[in-house]
Structures are given as structure tokens and as C-alpha cells.
Amino acid sequence: MAQAPASAEPSAPENGLLRRLFSSGTGVIALIYVVLYVLFALWDHSALTSGTVVNLANNAAPLAIAAAGETMVVLARGFDLSVAGVISLTNVIMAAYPMEGPDGAAISLLICLAVGGMVGLVNGYLVSVLKLQSIAATLATMIICQGLALVILDAPGGTVSDFVADQLTDVVIGVVPVAGLIILVIVAVWLVFQRTAMGIALYTVGSDEVSAQLSGISVSSTRFIGFVSAGMLYGLAGFMLSAQTATGNPNGGASFLMLTFAAVALGGTSLSGGRGSVVGSILGAGTLMLLQKVLFAGGVSSFYTGIFQGTVLVIAVVFGGLITRLSERRGAR
Amino acid sequence: MNDLTSKQPLSRSTHGAGSMMDNEKLIAESPDLRTTAKIKRETITAVGVFGLTILLIFLSRFVSPALGGWDQVNTVLVLACFLIVVSFGQGIVILIGGLDLSIPALITLSGVLTASWIGVSGDGSWYLFPLIMVICGGIGAVSGIGIVVLNIPPFIMTMATGIIVASSALGFTGGSPRGGASPLLLGLMKGNVMGIPWIILFILFFCVVGVLIQSRTTFGRRLMAIGSNLNAAVLAGIPTGNYIISAYITSAMSAGFAGFMLVGYANGATLRMGDGYLLSSIAAVVVGGSSILGGRGSFVSTIGGTLLLTTLGLVISALGVPQGWKTVIEGCTILFALLLLREDLISFFSRPKSRK
Amino acid sequence: MNASIAPRLLAYDMAKSYGATVALEDVSLQLVPGQIHALLGENGAGKSTLVKILSGVTRANRGAMQIEGHPYNPASILDAREAGVATAFQELSLPPNLMVSQALLLPNLRKGPFGLVSQSSCDQAASEILKKYRISDLSPRDEISQLTLAQRQRLEIARAMSHATSLLILDEPTAALTDVNWLFSLVREQTAAGLSVLYISHRLAEVRELCSSATVLRNGRSVADVDLSIASDADIFRMMVGRSEGSVRPAAINNISEMPITLELDHLKGSKLKGVSLKLRKGEILGVAGLEGQGQRELFRALVGLEIINSGTIKVNGVETELKSPRSALEAGLAFIPEERKVDGIFPSLSTAGNVVLPILSRLSKSGLIWPSQENKSASVKAESVELSFRYLDFLISDLSGGNQQKALLARALITEAPTLLLYDPTRGVDVGTKEAIYAAIRAYAENGGAVLLYSSELPELVRLADRCVVIYGGKVFSEFSGDEIQEESLVAALTGHRGDQSVAHNRSVA
């Protein structure tokens, strides 16, 4: 029979789940989100109505999906700036070439996913094969995508197909927002992915690239998959953004650059890789968007939303870092 | 000599002087011939970038007769001056392995405050200009302290600072910035002395000072050491915390100064005036050949990167290319520069030729 | 060579360069089935590069390899495994975020329904592997980051053994092992069944016990194939280095006890320090010996302010001083050379001269500016005292060999003109020729009145250099030796907590 390991602390399974939740930061952001929602409910009595929930889901969906995609790259230790470019590009495609009806919507969705996926392929090639720094390579692809968006639509305008704009911001079965469903599907896919060999490889590459390679993991394939899935998620985010704004804006993705990373960091994902979760990033995005609503309900001028967002970001990162270090110390030998 | 089939075990006897001599000879014939080569990477990239710029200016004569002469050089220098100032600060931060995402917000803040407090009248310039610089520097210090003391990653900290500052500028102006440029600023940006624009003289001076600071002062050398290996810098006794904070203060103040210049150039401030400068400053540093990871790079090459990007932008505009394609070409240029400066390519070219 | 036994591994004309640095120039190697063959050579000789090529981590620029007569040119670890080649790396390659079972089975994690990884199948497969290689103190769900170094080493070896069907490569496998026989018995079992083993170690005694033959590398070439039953240690040493080893102890400096005390530690207590007291005098080389984890690392780190001290005092030149940081230590006159030069020592993107003059930059600048010629001039003065060739000063320090880098670091410490040097394993991973130069520089420094606190994991080094030597055991100074008392046997005994009588049998005059 196996004897107890030499480490001082017994690895008791009871505190394992809690510890894992908090050390990955997901628990922290979930807590923050709940606290924020409570504040929201206190200041705005319509906070718990289904209308508000749907509104929140629609608002947060593009950022949440973008943050989910970014997490796929950050976990393997990298930065993907092309999120802004892909979102702008897919948004203008939706607005400049609207396709009516459910079939049209399906084709549009496929186009968005394909565009995002191709950008992801290019990023993956530049980083994994040509060994460029991810921040520099994705900076270049972002600028190129941004330029292509301007070529397609040089000023805000165009109209997104009615089907997309109406149905995707609507509800299903009475109270469940479609946007919320889509996010849940992403979460479900993620939870499955975490338990696949590729999911484990993603974390391992981010944790220690050298030992991952020496253990037989193909670092470049892993990163490739990370970039491609990220790109496709950005495409989906652009699709949802189009549904929400119902129009095209060639610079629509610009604000996503910072907010996406803010959501990822808020969600507890470490920017140096190896630790974190898509669920956390989605909650982080939700928190950022909820913060806007809470401030509005609290009577704070919308000018100053940024100050709060920035402060919350800093506090969350510091807090999350503290928790991680504490949980590491308790479990370490 | 190393043909396996004829190899014989060498150490037959341990005491016979004769066999020892054979061994000695064999072994002595393996001196350390492995050599390493000098790679003056900085020189190669700097020459390359400047050369490309000059080539571009020359070639643009074929695009339009208005281009390709000293006039164009003049235009490039004036247009590039903002980016040169901003890229100096961003370059210093990248040198220590960080990134300053708060630059656009600081440019905007400085511009808004300059237009509003100093305004067209120019009253109180003597203390207001320094005050605005101090405010910017203070914000940079806050970023630096968050990074050093609270261990917040630079990417996040400067992002947060940027969001907060932008929001403050928004609130301060209530959405519509007021005011204009004082005569001093207008003179600096638009005036001449003996036919040469003041701004060009200033920029030349700034470039020289900037290069010297980054490459030839204790300050710059130590920053480079910090970017090269933070652990080693701490162990070598460098007060890394102070230096890192100084780098962010420098970047913030560069952004602030660029704000002054932009107000003078456009005779006013807008809330988006800093927007393009984040990615452009990173691009200028990268295209110039500095490593995005820090520890390596000189301001000379960053200047080259700035000039190249500005010239490229001018030429493309002259071609009448719409904004969208212009942006695409900018992105491709950065990509091209990155591909050319890859480590493995440089290693490939510096491999020793095979001997014997 | 017996032609009827086909070689298991055949490698010839191997050459490999990393950019401008030539790692291997002309290496050939041959193993037959069931053979345990050693690879000897100082660090920098090319062993790790050869291991990387054989393991599939990197590819050679020239040369060819064959396994059982078939071409062998792996592009990855997996390619190598397919040919039956597996390696237990010196720098343990177990990802810290994983569990034991995952690390053992990667990349073939056992899957359950829907292609998801099945933890229970992984656990079962891992348990079998652990049992097969007689590892009883690990369970499949343990996290790698929680294991001790010895446990990780055993796991690394077990993993390699589970994949190696034709060639097993063991790179310094006993560095952290407490029970070497565990390894030896496993190796003998497997080679009896036909497995070939390439064994890399600098512990000659172990090599002789296990291996029948060896290939010696020097400066990127394979200079000799050796029958270990015939060659003597001196022969092997000479092949590795090119000349005879020096071994004379320094003449005892008689008046050290009259020299002023430059550093005094009194009952220093911290997390791992349980009350360290020692005195270091001017002109003295005080050696520190200790097994891994006994507190010597924490002691040095405490002296540069990187370790928290709960109680006890540090006196520098008789004055009680608080050493809060490496900077304050430097100001107090203590210059530190850390253990890992790549991680904590060199500035890889700076030139060698730039690395050396870093501490005195402010002194170099007249009119506030520093020019390369000034850097080179100041650096060359110190470079001479450590026998660092001038032509290296302009090179990027990352292009230099490990030994030359270490010389540069020593030059940097000397340039501060600090009266005390704190050296932690200063010749780790350094070739023997450079070691001599470093020893000479240290001795010259002490002769000029400098004080040296020197930790070394190599006992012969302490025997040669130290005027006095303390042994750290259990976070305290366990015993002390001076002058001729410093002998390997007595040190070895003290390291494991034995205070025997200190009469010494001089059975090794040559190290």
C-alpha cells in the first residue's frame, strides 16, 4: 500500500475543492460578483426582475465570450491582442453583409467563427512555428484585422439582420436569455475540455513549458489549439456584439482590448500562465459590466465608471494574489 | 581520427611513460577551438531600419513629385515628433521588461489640462506646465508603486491606471474639452528660427539626450540590467524598486510632454487625442529592434522605427490609399520587421563556417 | 570490436552549434545490447548537448545515429520513445502542476468514455508502474510540486525506465537520491534483459561500480573510449582535462588567529537556521560544507538579507549590522556570488564587460556619461586577475561558456573591492581548467587580506582551498576543522552527523 507522502500537510480531499476554487481565483470572483449583485439589488429594485437579468446577460455576453477566448491563450502563457481586431472585423461583416432569417444567421455565425479561426491559425503559426513573441505577433494581426474592418466599412453604419438582432437578445422558455444560454454552453464545453488530455496539456505548457516538452507534450500543437479556439470565440463575441448593437462599427473592438484582459485578470487567471479558468474570466466580464450598472443605479456619473473599474481590477488582482499565496503556503511542503 | 571501427581503448597502462606520451599527444590535440562570435545586433537593426526609411523616402519620389525631397524629410520629422517623445518613455518601460498601457490616457489628461488651465492666454504657464508634468509623473509613480510594492503585473497596473485617468479626464471635461493652445506652444510647434522649425531643433536635441540617457548613463545601464535579469540585478545590489518606479515616471512624463505638443499642434485638446499612441509606440519600439521582453535595445533604433512608420504612413497617404488599407499595411510592416528580427535567423547568420 | 554483436546505438561525426557557439564538434559513440556505458566529461564538454540530441530534444547539425542498424533521427521526445529511447534528465522534467499519475503517463493519459481523461484508469496504470519500479512512498494523486527532490528524481527515473526498451539514458541520476542501490539493482535487472544504458555522472566511484566502459568528452569532442577496468582515475582525469590535477593544499597561514574578525555571526536563528555562530577573519578562507537542505543556503541568503532572521546578531567589523537586502550587504562590504549564474547572476543581454563593471558604473562616468572604452578598460583590469581572456569582454556574456561566465561574475565581485566575499558553490558546472583559475583568484584575494566564506558541494574543493571548514548540520554549525584536519573522510562523516575522532588515514593523496 502506498504510504503517506513526505509532505507535511495531508492532502485531505474535503478542503480540496474549496481550496482549488479559491486558489484558482474562480471562488474569489464569484464572491465579488455576488456581493456586487447584492449592492445592485439594494440600490435598484428592478435588479432581480427577469428584464434586468436578460439585459445584463446581453450586455455582458460579448465581453464574457471574448474573455473566455483570451483565457485559452493566457493559460498557455501568452497574450492575444487580436481580440479587438477580430471583433471589429466580424462586427462589420455582420453589418455590411447581413443575411436574413435563421439560415442566414447560421451562415453568418459560421463566417464569424471561420474568420476568427483563421486569424487564430495565423497567430498560432507566428507564435508556435516562427517563434515570435505572442504580444508582438498578435499586435500585428490585430492591426491588420482592424485595417480590414475599415476597408469593409469605413464609418459606423450598416445594419445587422433583424433575425440576429432580435432573436439573440431575446429569451427562450420565457425567462432564459439566449445570450445566457450561449455562455452556459461555453462553460459546459470548457468543463469537459478541462478534463481532456489537451486541456491538461494547456495548463502544463503554461505552468512549465520545458518540462511539458520533455514529458512528451507538443508545446506548439497545444498553443496552436489555444489560439484557434480563442480566435473562434472572438468571432462568436463579434457575432453577439452585432446582435446587441444591431449595427456595425469598424472600431467596435477597440474597447475590448483592455476590458478583455481586465476580465481575465479579475477572474483569477494568472497572466503568466498555468493557473486560472474560463469560468473565472466569464464571471470577471460579468462583474465589470455589472459594475457599470451598479454605479448607475447608485447615482454615479457614467464618466467615472472607469475609475471604479480600474480600482476594482487592482483590488481583485491583489486580493487574488494574496489568496493564491496563502493557499500555496498551506499546502506546500 | 574518430572513426569508430578503428578506435582502440587508449589507456592500456598507467605507469609506462611511453604510452603516456601517446595519450598526452592525443589529448593535447583537443584544445578548446570552439569560438563565439560578436553579434552587434543593435548596429545591424539600427542601420537596417534607417536605411529602409531613407530608401522609402527616395523611392517615394516615384509616387509623387511632391515627395522624395527635403520637404518630405521635414514633414516626416515634424509628424514623427510626437511619437518619438512617447516612444522614448514606452521604450524605457519596455527596456525593464514592462509595458505602459496608460500612455494614451496620460496624453489626453495632459492635453486637456493644458488647454483648460493654461489655455489660449498662457497665464501661469511658468508654474502650470511643471505642475502638469508633476501630476503625470505622480500617476506614473503610482503605477510603479503598484507594480513594485503590490506585485501587480505591469500590464494590469498600467491598464488600470489608464482606465482611471481616462475616466477622470472625461469627468473633468464633462465630455467636451475646452480651451486652446498658448502662444508659447503655438510658437514651439509652428514657429521657425532661421527657416528651421523650432520643433525639429527640439526633436533633434531630444533624440540626442534620449539616446545618451538610455545607453550611456548609469540610469540607463542599470535599467537595461534590470530588464535583462531582475533577480541578478537585485543580488548585484541595484535598488531595483526605485529604478522601476523611475521608469514609469519617465514614461508618464514623456506622455505628458507629448500632450503639450499635441495641444500646440492642433490648437486644442480632444478626449481621443492619445488613442493612437499606445500601439504606435509599441510598434515603433518593436520595429526598431528592441526586445519586447526587455534588457536589450537602444533609443536610436526606436527613433528609426518611428521614422520608418511615419514615412510609411505618409507615403501611403500620398498614394491615396484609404485608411483601412493604410492600417493593414502598417500591421504588415510590423509583422515583417518582427519576422526579420527573429532570434533564430540572426543565430543562423552568425554560425561559424565549418572548418577543416 | 566483436563484429557479431550489432551495436544497439551507433552515433558518429556528431556536431551541433547554437548560433555562434559550438557545443559539439566531433563526437562518436557506440553501445551494444546490455551494456552500461558511461559518458564522462566536465561541464561544458558537451554531455548535455549530446543527451539532448539522443533524447530528441534537439537535432544535430551534422552526423548520423542508428538504433539496431536503423537510422535514428528523432524530432521529439515521442520519436525517441518510439525507437525505445527514453531519458531521465538532469534537470528534472516533471511538470510541477501535475499529479504523479499524469506525469508518469503523459502524453498517453488513460481515457474513459467520450475521450475524457479517466482519473481512475490513470491511477491504476500509475500504481502498476510505481510498483514495478519499487517506489512505495508515492501515490498516483500526489502533486509533483509537493514532492521532495529525492522523490522527484526517483519518479523521473521510473518514468524513463517505463518507456526505454532499447536505450535508457540516465543524466546525473544520483544527484538527489538517498538510496543509490535502488537505482543500481533496477539498472542491472534491465540490462540483464538486454537494455543498454548510457550513464552520465561525475561521481567516478559510482561509475566504476556500475559501468564497464566509458566515453570521455572534452571541448565538444569524444577524445577516448575507455575500459574502466583498466583506466585509473588519474588517466581519466587527464583525458577530461588535458593535464594532471593539482592537489597541493595551500600552506597554512599561521597568523590567521591574530587577524581582525571581519564577520561574526552569533546564534543566528531563522526558519531553517537553528542558531548559527561563526567567525570569519581577514585573510581567511572559511569553508562551509553541508548536505542539501541543512541550512547553508539559508545562511548565505540571510547574509544578503533574503532570509528572515528571528534572533541572533550579525557583526561586520565588530559593528552590529542589519543586512536587509543585497544592497545593504554590499554597502557593509559583503559581495555575494549566487549559486545559479543563469538565473541569479548574469545579465544575458549585456556584454561581458558590461556585466563586470555594473557595480561601479557611477564611478566610471565622468560628466555623467559612460563609454564602452571605459567599461572595457576597467573590466580588463579585473579580467586579468581571474584569467578571463580579454577577447571575451566585448562578447555577449550569454555566448560565453559556463566557466567563463563564472569568471566574469567573480570579476564583478572583485571589482566592488568588497573586503569579504560570499561564494556559494562558485565552481558548480565549471570545467576543471577554469576551476584552477578561480581557485587561484580566490587564494590571491585572501592573500591580499580579503575574507572568504565559501560553500562548496565538492569536498575536494574545500580540502584544497579552505583554511578552516565548518560543517552545517541541522541548521547549526555541527563541527569545525582547521588546517590539516580538513580531509574528505572527516568531512563526509561530519556531514551525516557523525563526530568521530579526527585521526585521518591519508589514503588519497590525489583527489
User: What ipTM was reported for this prediction?
Assistant: 0.82
Average predicted confidence (pLDDT) for chain A: 85
The predicted pLDDT at position C505 comes to 33
Q: What is the predicted pLDDT for the residue at C508?
A: 33
C235 touches chain B (CB under 8 A): yes
For residue A333, list chain C residues with Cβ-Cβ distance below 8 A.
Answer: 146-148
pLDDT at A169 over 80: no
What residues of chain A, 92 to 131, have a C-beta less than 8 Å from chain B? 126, 130-131
**Closest Cα in chain A to C88:** A214
pLDDT at A315 over 80: yes
Tell me if C491 sits within 8 A of C459, measured CB to CB.
yes
Rg (CA), chain B: 26
pLDDT(C441) > 50: yes
Of A269, A270, A286, A287, which is closest to residue A278 (Cα–Cα)?
A: A269
Distance in angstroms (rounded) separating the CA atoms of residues C208 and C191 = 16
Task: Give pLDDT, residue C401.
Answer: 78
Q: What share of chain A is helix, strand, coil (3-state, %, to 5)?
A: 75, 5, 20
Residue B226 confidence (pLDDT) above 70 = yes
State residue C292's pLDDT score.
Answer: 72
Peptide bond into C107 cis (omega under 30): yes
What band does B14 get if pLDDT is binned at 50, 70 and 90?
very low
Closest CA–CA distance from residue B113 to any residue of chain C (Å) = 34
User: pLDDT by residue (tens digit) across B80-123?
Assistant: 999 999 999 999 999 999 999 999 999 999 999 999 998 888 88
Mean pLDDT of all residues in C199-219 = 88
Interface contact A200, partner C, CB < 8 A: yes
Give how far Cα B194 sits from Cα of A18, B71, B191, B201, B291, Å. Answer: 74, 16, 10, 11, 40
**CB-based contact A146 B327, cutoff 8 Å:** yes
pLDDT digits (tens, 9 = 90+) for C148-166: 888 999 999 999 999 999 9
- Per-residue model confidence (pLDDT) at position A191: 93
CB pairs under 8 A between A and B: 143
Euclidean distance between CA atoms C405 and C355, whole angstroms: 10
Q: Which chains touch C (3 or more CB pairs under 8 A)?
A: A, B
Q: Where residue C393 falls among pLDDT bands split at 50, 70, 90?
A: confident
Alpha-carbon distance C118 to nearest alpha carbon in chain A (angstroms): 8
Question: In this predicted model, what pLDDT tens digit does every residue of B281-324 receive, in sequence order?
Answer: 988 998 888 888 888 888 998 999 999 888 888 888 878 888 88
Residue with cell 508518469: C104
pLDDT of C175 reads 77
CATH architecture of B41-347: Orthogonal Bundle (1.10)
Contacts of A303 in chain B (CB under 8 A): 167, 170-171, 174-175
* pLDDT for res A327: 63
| Environment class of B112 (CB within 10 Å of its CB; exposed 0-12, middle 13-18, buried 19+) | buried
**Nearest CB to B11; choose among C226, C348, C394:** C226
Mean pLDDT within C173-201:
90
* Neighboring chain B residues of A304 at a CB cutoff of 8 Å: 167-168, 170-171
Worst-scoring range by mean pLDDT, A20-29, B235-244, C54-63, C258-267? A20-29
Residues of chain C found within 8 Å of residue A10, distances taken between Cβ atoms: none
DSSP letter assigned to residue C371: -
Cell match 499565496: residue?
A: A325
Residues B276 and B261: their CA atoms lie apart, in Å, by 15
C42: left (phi over 0), alpha (psi -120 to 50) or beta: beta
Q: Average the pLDDT over B338-350 and give the result.
A: 66
| Nearest-neighbour CA in chain A from B223: distance (Å) | 21
- Is the pLDDT assigned to residue C81 strictly greater than 90? yes
Query: pLDDT band at C78, cuts 50/70/90?
Result: very high
Which of A310-314, C76-80, C240-244 has the lowest average pLDDT? C240-244
| Among the partner residues B99, B328, B343, nearest to A144 by beta-carbon distance | B328
Residue B135's contacts (CB-CB under 8 Å, 6 or more residues apart) are B109, B113, B256
- With CB atoms and an 8 Å threshold, state whether B150 touches A318: yes
| Whole-number average pLDDT of chain C | 86
For every residue of A154-192, DSSP letters joined together read: SSSEEE--HHHHHHTTSEETTTEEHHHHHHHHHHHHHHH
Please give the pLDDT value at position B306.
92
Q: Looking at residues C138-146, what average pLDDT do you find?
A: 90
What's the pLDDT score for residue C502?
40
- Give the pLDDT confidence of A71-130 residue by residue, as tens digits: 999 999 999 999 999 999 999 999 999 988 888 889 999 999 999 999 999 999 999 999
The alpha-carbon gap from C245 to the nearest alpha carbon of chain A, in Å, equals 37
Question: Does the domain at residues A33-39+46-321 carry the CATH identifier 1.10.3470?
Answer: yes
Mean pLDDT confidence for B347-353: 53
Which chains have 3 or more CB–CB distances shorter than 8 Å to chain B? Answer: A, C
How far apart are alpha carbons C38 and C222 in whole angstroms?
12
Residues C46, C21 contacting (CB under 8 angstroms): no
Mean pLDDT of B9-15: 34
Name the one residue in this structure whose C-alpha cell is 568531512: C491
Is pLDDT at C63 greater than 80 in this prediction? Answer: yes
Contact status of A214 with chain C (Cβ, < 8 Å): yes
Task: Report d(CA A252, CA C285) in Å as an integer.
Answer: 68
DSSP letters spanning C406-469: HHHHHHHHHHTT-SEEEEESTTTT--HHHHHHHHHHHHHHHHTT-EEEEE-S-HHHHHHH-SEE
Answer yes or no: is pLDDT of A332 > 70: no
